[in-house]
Amino acid sequence: MTVTFKYENGDKLGAQFKTRVQKFSKDIQQAQLAAARRAASEIETRGRENIRAGGNFGSARWQEGFQAKLSFASGGAINIRVTHAVPYWKVFEEGRTIRGKPMLWIPLSFATAGSLNVRAREYPKPLFRVERPGKAPLLLDDTGPQYFGKTFVRIPKKWSLRAIVRQVAGQMQQFYREARRSGK
């Protein structure tokens, strides 16, 4: 004996159930995608604010270089990849000591070198070195001092981007629930 259930409108229960499961599955996927998009947007917004607050990082290079991008893996998994276009961004995230070989030549802000923003070896005029007892050495051109020398510099931790990513990741469940409620 075979028993077939039908709704009042004539649809079979199995077909109706399959349709509802597919719709439910699609709703879940859409909510997951909406939650991931919101998380990526939140990471970019908070991260860029953190970069800007870290000092002289207001330029488009530093701001727009920080990105959270969505990608899709096998099995329908959604990944958020956080990157920065500036390859040495981790220096400001972790803090570092940078050593010269043998010296780091730092341009003086009030000098021509500071406005040109060029390395000492690329400076357009000849430079000569002046040693001063108890003070940093200088590189001068015919107009005056252009660079001062250091054997190393310590760059302190200025950003907390990884902490921001962890905070937003902790909110994914909330983002998902809100996306399910709103029907996105």
Q: Please, which pLDDT band fits residue 174 given cuts at 50, 70 and 90? A: very high
Instruction: Say how far apart CA 57 and CA 55 lie, in whole Å.
Output: 6
Q: What is the DSSP letter of 35?
A: H
Instruction: Give the pLDDT band (50/70/90) at residue 26.
Output: confident
Specify the pTM.
0.74
Beta carbons of 93 and 77 less than 8 angstroms apart: no
Segment (H or E) for 65: helix 60-65
